[in-house]
Chains A and B, each alone.
Chain A
Amino acid sequence: MAKITYIEHDGTEHTVEVKTGLSVMEGAVKNRVPGIDADCGGACACATCHVYVDEAWREKTGSPSAMEESMLDFADNVEPNSRLSCQIKVTDALDGLIVRTPQSQH
């Protein structure tokens, strides 16, 4: 289990427990956190699960694969800390993770 805080673009925070092995996207969907559409259900095909990873957590969440990176290249409002949340696997090391969701997914 890892505690993950999802912050909506308007500042609303949702802190939930997510099972390890799930993705950060699945953690949001299962816990009814708004702001992550995940149209393709985690296939890294749609870029509607875009999140901004809190600076303090960037290293622990690793870097995107080449595939993910080129999807992100064309997502709206990409920042250096942008990730596709379906591609971040939850591990114990991510306990406390903070991600923000972009306005476009609301």
Chain B
Amino acid sequence: MDAILGGRVVIVGAGHAAGQCAALLRQYGWTGPITLLGDEPHLPYQRPPLSKAWLKGEADAESLLFRPAEFYAENDIAVRTGVHVEAIDREAWTVTLRGGEALPWDRLILATGARARALPIPGAGLNNVLALRNAQDAERLKALLQPGKRVVVIGGGYVGLEAAASARALGCHAVVVEREPRLLARVACETLSDFFQNYHEAQGVEFVLGASARELRGQGAVHGVLLDDGTEIACDAVLVGVGAVPNAELAAACGLDCEDGVVVDLAGRTSDPSISAIGDCTRRPLPLYNRMARLESVPSALEQARQVACDLTGKPPPPPEVPWFWSDQYDLKLQIAGLPLDAPLRLVRGDVGKANFAVFHLTDENVVQAVEAVNMPDAFMGGRMLIASRKPVAPARLGDMSVSMKAVLA
């Protein structure tokens, strides 16, 4: 075992998953060299604030860093920033950087994340058309969000809605264009979609639902978004938030199993057991739901980082976690646990009108599958435990605010 613990670990990508995995490997006793290869100019940092506190100017660049520079030095973790990995050679056990340098590894970890999906329409290359995936995007967006400016957000997902909320806070006009007839269509239930739409409208955000952008117009810089019905929305900037694509090309090119993401098992191993993958670039098993999924969330990245650190250091695998996610918009705290996909029963606890409620998704046997909680952390925390325990609940009690969540769980 010791010989293995002394092997060379190379991690491709230096984001959230990579930073956490390197730290855990050291904590669990890995003694060999650990090298992170990241193409951004930064040490691992947190992306969630880029559309929230940071965008609104409530957090500085330093506070984004996941851990300070001294941490990596003290733990003998080499972080090479600004380097792009171009190829993996599974026969030679090396990765090749742009420029030709080859680096050997004994265990390779892919943590390449995802990138913003491009909008394949004319004008997408105009100035002031941006996505929001990294610190550089966020800097550019922030510079454009001057009071009085008009921004069109294409895509009504979490990142788009958070950015719209931040834009309003900064005194900009915000219009959200969404192809589906409702917001958050892929990721939340109708109750939430309607609630968020109403809340944003009350804050002055405009919505155009069931509409697609056909063309971005402008000369040099964008000045309008042409919709498929012929209407044009005037604007000074466009934020494209139409989802993310996993950075799985490196893995696919060296023959690893990929399927909209690098396919991994519960130990984070790819189809080549000496190569692991973690975070947004993976398609991973969700044992609680008996399915594979690609999750784009910090908790999933952290969980997979732990799975791989355990696997490499010979520790028992960590118990599977309930997937979860959060989003902050205005004074709303949304917390979701589980996958609100296809459970047959739905139950609301609390008061939607008062922005203090949770939607529980239950099976026919009254087992909680998922919970979507707005400003109701106890429903989220309790719901997460119920999902994990698979213990049936009494729906009448769950829906009754006079029965505490603690009592529901008891």
- Residues in chain A within 8 A of chain B (CB atoms): 22, 26, 29-30, 32, 39-41, 43-47, 67, 70-71, 73-75
Instruction: Classify the secondary structure of A's interface with B.
Output: loop
CB-based contact B381/A44 at 8 Å? no
Query: Which residue in chain B gives the minimum CB-CB distance to A74?
Result: B381
CB-based contact B67/A32 at 8 Å? yes
CB-based contact A44/B333 at 8 Å? yes
Contact of B377 among A26, A29, A70 (CB under 8 A): A70
CB-based contact B71/A45 at 8 Å? no
CB-based contact B67/A29 at 8 Å? yes
Given contacts A30-B68, A32-B68, A32-B71, 16 further A-B contacts (CB under 8 A): A22-B63, A29-B68, A39-B299, A41-B46, A43-B48, A44-B333, A45-B335, A46-B299, A70-B376, A70-B377, A71-B377, A71-B381, A73-B406, A74-B377, A74-B382, A74-B406
Count of CB-CB pairs between chains A and B under 8 Å: 56
Residue B123 CB within 8 A of the other chain: no
Closest CB in chain B relative to A72 CB, distance in Å: 9
A-B interface, 8 closest residue pairs, ranked by CB to CB distance from nearest: A74-B381, A70-B378, A45-B326, A71-B377, A70-B377, A41-B46, A32-B71, A30-B68
Closest CB in chain A relative to B396 CB, distance in Å: 21
Contact of B378 among A39, A41, A73 (CB under 8 A): A73
CB-based contact A39/B298 at 8 Å? yes
Q: What residues of B have a CB within 8 angstroms of the CB of A29 in the complex?
A: 67-68
Closest CB in chain B relative to A20 CB, distance in Å: 14
- Cross-chain pairs A/B with CB under 8 angstroms, 11 sampled: A26-B63, A29-B68, A40-B298, A43-B326, A43-B333, A44-B333, A44-B377, A45-B326, A46-B299, A70-B378, A74-B377
CB-based contact B48/A41 at 8 Å? yes
> Within the assembled complex, what's the spacing in Å between the Cα atoms of A40 and B378?
16
Q: What residues of A have a CB within 8 angstroms of the CB of B335 in the complex?
A: 45
Q: What residues of A have a CB within 8 angstroms of the CB of B68 in the complex?
A: 29-30, 32
1/0 per residue B44-62: CB within 8 Å of A? Answer: 0010110000000000000
> Within the assembled complex, what's the spacing in Å between the Cα atoms of A38 and B46?
12
- Residues in chain B within 8 A of chain A (CB atoms): 46, 48-49, 63, 66-68, 70-71, 74, 298-299, 302, 326, 328, 333, 335, 375-378, 381-382, 385, 405-406
Contact of A67 among B299, B377, B405 (CB under 8 A): B377
Q: What residues of B have a CB within 8 angstroms of the CB of A39 in the complex?
A: 298-299, 302
Closest CB in chain B relative to A14 CB, distance in Å: 13
Given contacts A41-B46, A41-B49, is CB(A73)–CB(B381) below 8 Å? Answer: yes
> Within the assembled complex, what's the spacing in Å between the Cα atoms of A40 and B49?
10
Q: What residues of A have a CB within 8 angstroms of the CB of B376 in the complex?
A: 70
Q: What residues of B have a CB within 8 angstroms of the CB of A44 in the complex?
A: 333, 377
CB-based contact B333/A67 at 8 Å? yes
> Within the assembled complex, what's the spacing in Å between the Cα atoms of A46 and B299?
9
CB-based contact A74/B67 at 8 Å? no
> Within the assembled complex, what's the spacing in Å between the Cα atoms of A101 and B392?
34
Q: What residues of A have a CB within 8 angstroms of the CB of B377 in the complex?
A: 44-45, 67, 70-71, 74
Q: What residues of A have a CB within 8 angstroms of the CB of B299 in the complex?
A: 39, 46
Closest CB in chain A relative to B105 CB, distance in Å: 27
Contact of B74 among A30, A32, A70, A71 (CB under 8 A): A32
CB-based contact A67/B406 at 8 Å? no
Centre residue among B335, B375, B406 by max chain A CB count within 10 A: B335
Q: What residues of B have a CB within 8 angstroms of the CB of A71 in the complex?
A: 377-378, 381
CB-based contact B405/A73 at 8 Å? yes
Q: What residues of B have a CB within 8 angstroms of the CB of A41 in the complex?
A: 46, 48-49, 66, 298
Query: Which residue in chain A gives the minimum CB-CB distance to B299?
Result: A39
Q: What residues of A have a CB within 8 angstroms of the CB of B375 in the complex?
A: 67
> Within the assembled complex, what's the spacing in Å between the Cα atoms of A39 and B23?
14
> Within the assembled complex, what's the spacing in Å between the Cα atoms of A46 and B302?
12
> Within the assembled complex, what's the spacing in Å between the Cα atoms of A71 and B384?
12
